[in-house]
Structure formats: C-alpha cells, structure tokens
Structure 1
C-alpha cells in the first residue's frame, strides 16, 4: 500500500486540471530481478520541464525493497534514487522539485549535478500521541472548548475558504483556493481521502479550518489551515488539530504530517505536538555561478595539496 495520499488519482487529476500540468506515474525497477521498486509521480509544465505543482508539499515517492537487511536496503535505495536522478536529468527541471522524505539519500542527485536544499516538517505518530503532546497544546484546545467553540467535519467549503483567507490577509500569501476548488478536489478524491474540519464559535460563526488529505491506514497531511484573526488567541488551531488527529485515528492512519517547519513561529507551534523532526530535500539544477564556485574551491584545494 502506498501511504502517501499524493499518489491518489484524484489528487493527480486535480493538479493536471488546476495547474495545467501533465502528470506521469513512474515505476523504476532493476534491470534484472525484483530486488527493489521505486514509484513516483512527475509533473511537466507546458515546456515539458519537471516542476512541483503549486500547493504540493512534495512529490510522492514509494520505495519497496525485497530484503530487510540494512546493507541491502541502503544499497538498493541508492541504486533506485540514482535511476530517479538520471530520469530527472534527462527530462530537465523547470524549477525546484520538492521530494518526499523517502528520498533520504540525496547523494545520487548531487552526483547528477543537482543542488539540494534541506527542508523540514514534523511527523507525529498518531497511535500513542497523548504522551508526546506538550501540555500547553492541550490547554489551548481546552480553553477553546470552554469558550463554546465546536469543531466538526464539514462540506461548507465557502466557510472553509473564508477561514483560509485569514493567514492570507495577515501574512500576505495566497492559497489560490476558493470554495469551488475545494469542492472539486473533494469530488475527485472522495471523503475517504479528503476532509475539511471547521471550528465555529458559540454564535455559530466559522473561526478556523483545516483541510487534510489522507490515506486510510497510511499518512494524513495537514495540507491547508487558517483561522480568523480575532480567534487566534482562543486556541482554535489546537482545537481543530485535536479533532483531525481523532478523525485520522478512527481511519487507521499511522502518521500525521504537519507539512512545513521552516519558519521560526511555525516551527515553535508545530513542535509542541511532539512529532519527529523530519528532513526532506528540494533539488534544482546547479546554476553557472554555483558550478564555477565549486570548480574554484576544488582547484584551490588541489593547489594547496601540491604545494605541501
């Protein structure tokens, strides 16, 4: 089973339709035997170059090895990622590609003359999470309950989009999602893979929302979240997160990916949930300046060795 919901056909179709991209499902295997298999989804823009679609946290990667011996797993994953790097270089990158954390060996991409930049997120094991969550996170959710808030699964996509506009206004970025896009994505993926949580205050007014993608028995992704400015101090974000975690536990999900922890205040908020800090990589073609600098550093090193 592929645990990443970004493999879902509905999600792939949404990216093709909404961002005018061409998707390709890729399966790589060794020339002989069945010792390993790597699967991913690549997206090409109108120029035929590879890109990470907007609003995609990463490109999904699934790796299977027929052996569980560490030496075999390490060697075969290196071989699989080397094949993937070669495939990417042959097609050409139209921008940076954000890879799944499954690609934890970045060397094959560097060997293929690509630059790699580390990015971070938190993965929370859903089972047994109670003992990992900082008490401060639970207190904020409890405060929200005392103030009369309630949180439910919703299909009120207009209300969800309205809540997502909160951080857009405060932080100056654009989710590029309206109610119509959320409704389309819900229809493409279905309720077993797409869900919206909405928190309302005691007056019934929408105050906070979270949009998630998930695979039952696999991972859940905290894809988009937003709250009204006036509700920020009430702990709405924590209330919605607790509701989401309970929902995914009921669906047998194993890991909740908070998606992103690269900005100090965001990292501080997400680390309180007790997840594992996970590194993944964004890769891009090395530019002329970077290649020239690397050649210069290599030449200086060689000259120093010869002068000794």
Structure 2
C-alpha cells in the first residue's frame, strides 16, 4: 500500500480504522500522521446506555408522529443531506446519482440507508451507513432538515439504525469521527467507547504554512492569563 501511495501525485491521505495502531511503516517512509477520535458502540444496543437527554428526544419524536425506517429512496436521502450542507456550509460532494450508484455496486448488504419521516410523510433526517464486513459498520454521511432538528428526529433515526444493524448480525457501529466539540458531545451521549484512529498523508508545501499557523496558535493564551 505504501509503495502505491508514494507514487501518487497531488494530495494523498488515507484514514485507517481504529484497530490499526502501528503506523511506523508510514512514518518511516516520510508520511505525516494525525491522531483523531471516534465513538464505537457494541451491538446489540440497549437504549439504557444513552443519557437522559437522548431518551427524552426519542420520546419527543414519537409523540410528534415521526417514524424511522430503512429506505432505498435516494432522492429522499439527498434532500436531507443538502439541508445539512446549507446549514453548516460544506459540501458532501455527493449527488443522487452517486448514492444510487453506490447502492447498486455495493448492494443492500454493504450500503444501507435510513430515513425519518414526519407525520405528513416528509423526509426529515437520513443516515447512510457502510457495512465493512460481517461485524462492523460505520456511519458514513448523515443529514437533517433544519426545521425538524430539535424534535428528536436524529436520535429516533439513530436508534432505529442501531436496532436494524444488530438484526443483521453486526457487532459494532463506528460513529465515524468525533473531532469537533459539539459533534463529540452529541455522540458521547450514546455511551460508546472513545477510540483513537490515524490519518496518514503525504507531506505537501502547505504543511510549511500549517506549521507556522500551529506555532502561532500554540503561542496564543487567553487574555488575562499569566505565567505560573
């Protein structure tokens, strides 16, 4: 793998699963490594592991007539992804055709989508999950319409997904990242184990600029702070 990566041009990076902890062969060849974190849940899952706030949000979603289910409607999934892109100012770089192609290539056994509908039948939240093997699944992408975000739809959908994956024999679910404070907080409430993982990449010229930025950031201290 390393020999192949060194021959590629341009930006080259690879995210390693949490169970790969020895990255020395990459660093010996000059790759840069960054440590990141994710939460992993063991399946089958018990809702008793979730904190009270999550359980209350699920009850709220039920009370307001929302219902969640597996889906093969990629247009409905896409509608939810787009809403999150607009709200958070990023681009998944995924189209409806991309989702349909992925489902066709990987099949339902590897590519599973879940969606939450309002009482009126509007798609309001979606999760797309990849089944890596017979035991492991990762939450690949997700999106929720802003108007329904506070109604517990995300939590109801997540619980349905965990139950469905367990029924397929999956043993663990990886939330696929918990590196932003607000995202980490929302995922931590499910009671999973915090696990580190590595991202390794070829160095580029921008790394010089990044080093300068990191040096300046490290040297900054909150106003009013003083030396011990």
Category of TM-score, reference length = shorter chain: 0.7 to 0.9
Distance 2:36 2:170 in 1: 24
Distance 2:175 2:84 in 1: 16
Q: How many Å apart are 1:89 and its aligned residue? A: 6.3
> Conserved in 1, the CA contact under 8 Å of 2:45 and 2:162?
no
Cα distance between partner residues in 2 of 1:99 and 1:216: 15
**Cα distance, 1:139–1:176 mapped onto 2, change above 3 Å:** same
Q: 1:191 to 1:286 in 2, by over 3 A?
A: closer
Give the whole-Å Cα distance in 2 for the aligned partners of 1:128 and 1:235: 18
Confirm whether residue 139 of structure 1 aligns to residue 139 of structure 2. Answer: no
Per-residue displacement from partner, 1:253-273 (whole Å, max 9, x unpaired)? 011111111111111111111
The answer (yes or no) to whether the contact 1:158–1:178 under 8 Å persists in 2 is no
The answer (yes or no) to whether the contact 1:93–1:285 under 8 Å persists in 2 is: no
Using the size of structure 1 for normalisation, the TM-score is: 0.62
For residue 146 of structure 2, the aligned residue among 229, 240, 249 is 229
Q: Residue 285 and residue 180 in structure 1: after superposition, are their counterparts in 2 closer, same or farther (change >3 A)?
A: closer
Structure 1 residues 257 and 93, CA, compared in 2 at 3 Å: closer, same or farther?
A: farther
| Residue 114 to residue 201, structure 1, CA distance change in 2 (3 Å) | same
**Where do 1:79-90 residues align within 5 Å?**
85=2, 87=3, 90=6
CA 1:135 to 1:186, structure 2 compared with 1: closer, same or farther past 3 Å? Answer: same
Residue number in structure 1 paired with 2:158: 241
* Structure 2 partner of 1:152: 69
Report 1 or 2 for greater relative contact order, CA contacts < 8 Å, sequence distance ≥ 6.
2
Corresponding pairs, count: 207
SS at match of 2:126: strand
Distance change in 2, residues 1:90/1:133 (3 Å): same
Q: Higher mean Cα deviation, 258-267 or 181-190? A: 181-190
Distance 1:286 1:164, change over 3 A: closer
Deviations 1:83-131 (A, max 9, x none): x54x356535642222222321223322222221111111111135434
**Alpha carbons of structure 1 residues 131 and 217: separation in structure 2 relative to 1, 3 Å:** farther
Q: 1:287 Cα shift? A: 5.3
Unaligned runs of 5+ in 2: 212-228
Report how far residue 151 of structure 1 moved. Answer: 0.8
188 and 107 in structure 1: CA distance in 2 versus 1, 3 angstrom threshold: same
Which structure has the greater CA radius of gyration? 1
Residue 200 (structure 2) aligns with: 283
Q: Which of the numbers 38, 42, 58 marks the counterpart of 1:125?
A: 42
Superposed CA offset, 1:37-74 (max 9, x none):
xxxxxxxxxxxxxxxxxxxxxxxxxxxxxxxxxxxxxx
Q: Does 1:91 align with 2:7?
A: yes
Question: Which 5+ residue runs of structure 1 have no aligned equivalent?
Answer: 1-83, 294-308
Please name the residue that 1:184 is paired with: 101
Aligned-residue Cα RMSD (Å) equals 2.1
